[in-house]
């Protein structure tokens, strides 16, 4: 048997994801500049929005981030090795049985309820002083102490001296919609809370809030989606560099006649003789079924489905997306422009993440965080681009 050449797994895989770490670092620097006097953190929850907490975390740390936010203690434990001197805040707080993970990895719990506060006070009574953060709900009705609870806690002279919050934070429910009156209402409430915690840092703005202006920045901003190239504000051009490019291999090209149907349910009937490219990606890989060109209820509201990009042009998804396969119509490309084995871009440098997401009636966050395990990943540093 002859020896087979060793191929780079990235060149042999059916699905691949390129993560441009240089663009990620540039986006953080851009957001840090826009944050003015406020320090700029980095939100790396959900495996850095699907792009890899290890590589993304290390890149952001090298770029200058010294405050990070994760959703779970396990994420903070992973990140600690890549951000050795950073403050790492855990947004889900702390629960019984997690104390060792927090203390061994120097993680800061974000406390969001009276129950968490009570547990934390009991922990401090045994361990002594340890930093925490307080989340206050200013109108989201998600996580956080109420404004009244937060103000009462600030004025409680009986609270133990070992209780040592280092940050008070809240979250805007409509930061991506600049004309929303809710932003100003939340800002006013948060100002009241932050004033009650004089000498303790305050943070209100995630990605979208940074663009609302300096009055929303306080001491620390917390960008997430904008770091990864996503659009933070509705109705505004996205100034962020794309970070992620997803591609799928074309498994087969086939000819189909006018009048024939395509994919499950025969939901798309061809009106011309067509050339179809079948790509090795489906909803199991986060390429959502709602991106289908036909056969899903969303198409009655948003007529056009997604496109791929290949041979220098966008090409539409045809019929329903299936678990592992998607069909693209490449009829309008020159003969021979696409071959089996070529890769088609799903989103990235040529197809904006949020434009693709809009075709599914969703947002870029969902596309990124839904990326499956079958993508072979490659991270590009500044020396690679």
Q: Point out the residues that are catalytic.
A: 45, 264
Instruction: State how far the alpha carbon of 170 is from the alpha carbons of 139, 142, 232, 271, in Å.
Output: 9, 10, 17, 53
Q: Which helix (H) or strand (E) holds 202?
A: strand 201-203
First to last CA, the chain: 39
Asked if 98 and 63 count as a contact pair (C-beta separation under 8 A), the reply is no
Reference 92, options 142, 139, 48, 47; nearest CA is: 142
Partners of 326 in the beta sheet? 279
Give the Cα separation of 17 and 345 in Å (integer). Answer: 10
- Which bin fits 229, alpha (ψ -120 to 50), beta or left (φ > 0)? left
Cβ of 315: how many Cβ atoms within 10 Å? 21
User: Which of the 8 DSSP states describes residue 136?
Assistant: B
Burial 347-379 (b: 16+ CB within 10 A, else e): bbeebbbbebbbbbbbbbbebbbbbeebbbbbb
Cβ of 107: how many Cβ atoms within 10 Å? 24
């Amino acid at each position: 048997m002859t020896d087979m050449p060793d191929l780079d797994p990235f060149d042999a895989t059916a699905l691949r994801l390129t993560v441009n770490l240089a663009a990620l670092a540039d986006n953080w620097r851009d957001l840090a500049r826009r944050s003015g006097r406020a320090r700029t953190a980095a939100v790396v929850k959900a495996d850095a929005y699907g792009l890899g907490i290890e590589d993304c975390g290390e890149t952001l740390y090298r770029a200058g981030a010294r405050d990070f936010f994760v959703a779970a203690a396990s994420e903070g434990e992973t990140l600690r090795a890549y951000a050795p001197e950073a403050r790492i805040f855990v947004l889900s707080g702390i629960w019984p049985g997690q104390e060792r993970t927090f203390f061994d990895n120097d993680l800061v719990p974000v406390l969001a309820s009276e129950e968490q506060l009570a547990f934390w006070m009991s922990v401090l009574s045994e361990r002594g002083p340890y930093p925490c953060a307080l989340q206050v709900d200013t109108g989201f009705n998600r996580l956080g102490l109420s404004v009244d609870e937060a103000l009462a806690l600030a004025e409680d002279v009986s609270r133990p001296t070992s209780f040592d919050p280092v940050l008070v934070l809240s979250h805007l429910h409509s930061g991506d919609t600049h004309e929303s009156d809710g932003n100003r209402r939340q800002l006013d409430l948060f100002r009241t809370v932050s004033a009650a915690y004089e000498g303790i840092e305050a943070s209100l703005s995630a990605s979208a809030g940074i663009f609302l202006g300096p009055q929303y920045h306080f001491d620390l901003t917390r960008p997430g989606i904008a770091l990864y190239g996503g659009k933070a504000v509705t109705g505004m051009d996205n100034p962020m560099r794309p970070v992620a490019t997803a591609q799928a291999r074309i498994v087969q090209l086939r000819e189909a006649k006018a009048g024939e149907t395509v994919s499950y349910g025969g939901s798309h009937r061809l009106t011309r003789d067509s050339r179809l490219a079948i790509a090795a990606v489906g909803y199991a890989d986060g390429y959502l079924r709602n991106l289908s060109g036909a056969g899903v209820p969303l198409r009655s509201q948003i007529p056009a489905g997604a496109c791929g990009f290949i041979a220098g042009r966008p090409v539409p998804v045809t019929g329903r997306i299936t678990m592992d396969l998607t069909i693209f119509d490449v009829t309008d490309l020159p003969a021979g422009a696409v071959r089996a084995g070529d890769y088609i871009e799903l989103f990235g440098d040529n197809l904006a993440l949020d434009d693709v997401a809009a075709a599914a009636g969703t947002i870029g966050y969902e596309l990124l965080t839904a990326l499956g395990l079958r993508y072979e990943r490659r991270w590009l540093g500044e020396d690679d681009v």
